[in-house]
């Protein structure tokens, strides 16, 4: 699915870059480090409402439960040059994906934009639900979905690198 030695820079993208995508980034860097894989990770938001903010305290708390500290991450907005800079840009939901594709000037760059849950055998084609208006159970569900998908992605990258 991912061509050999190409997808080593991975950008995780959601709307605010304070809930889902920093959780996905934290998981990816954690699992990559565990496997000794050199993957450049970053995350961004399609919206501008939370630029410069640390991840939502509920997202940080959920990650801490699983031994991962994402307090160092800061929200930024997705920019057009991200499509050139990264090998793989993973959308948390279909809205994010549509907004990302609006920035893609060519089919080649648009091809780098994929849905995060396409790596999840049980949830391919699905959305990571926005937990912003939810509670801790919603953040726990986001973690479960991301753990499976990011785990499968790391398995694939481990074979390719």
Q: How far apart are the first and last CA of the chain?
A: 13
> Least distance from C-beta 23 to ligand 4NP, angstroms?
8
19 catalytic? Reply is: no
Q: What would the two tokens of residue 82 be?
A: 């991200």
Give residue for tokens 């995780």: 12
Report if residue 14 touches ligand 4NP, rule: CB under 6 A.
yes
Q: How many residues bind ligand 4NP (CB under 6 A)?
A: 11
Residue 158 near residue 35, CB atoms below 8 Å? yes
Cβ nearer to ligand 4NP, comparing 114 with 132: 132
**Considering only 12-20, 81-89, 101-109, 153-161, which stretch makes contact with ligand 4NP by CB under 6 A?**
12-20
65, HSE (Cβ side, Cα atoms, 13 Å): 12
127 catalytic? Reply is: no
Stretch 120-159: interaction string toward ligand 4NP, x if CB under 6 A: ----------x-x---------------------------
Question: How many residues does the structure list for the chain?
Answer: 161
In the complex, residue closest to ligand 4NP by CB: 16
CA 10 – CA 104 distance, rounded (Å): 16
Identify how many contiguous H helices and E strands the chain contains and give both numbers.
6, 4
155 catalytic? Reply is: no
Q: Can you tell me which of 10, 15, 78, 154 binds ligand 4NP, judged by CB under 6 A? A: 15
């Amino acid at each position: 699915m991912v061509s050999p030695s190409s997808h080593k820079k991975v950008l995780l993208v959601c709307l605010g870059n304070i809930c889902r995508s920093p959780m996905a980034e934290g998981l990816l860097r954690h699992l990559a480090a565990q496997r000794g894989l050199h993957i450049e990770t970053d995350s961004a938001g399609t919206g501008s409402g939370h630029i410069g903010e640390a991840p939502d305290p509920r997202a940080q708390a959920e990650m801490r439960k699983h031994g991962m500290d994402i307090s160092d991450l800061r929200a930024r907005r997705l920019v057009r040059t991200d499509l050139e800079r990264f090998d793989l840009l993973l959308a948390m939901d279909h809205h994010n994906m549509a907004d990302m594709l609006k920035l893609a000037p060519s089919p080649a760059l648009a091809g780098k934009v994929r849905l995060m849950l396409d790596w999840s055998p049980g949830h391919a084609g699905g959305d990571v639900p926005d937990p912003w208006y939810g509670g801790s159970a919603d953040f726990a569900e986001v973690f479960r979905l991301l753990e499976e998908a990011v785990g499968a992605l790391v398995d694939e990258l481990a074979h390719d690198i």
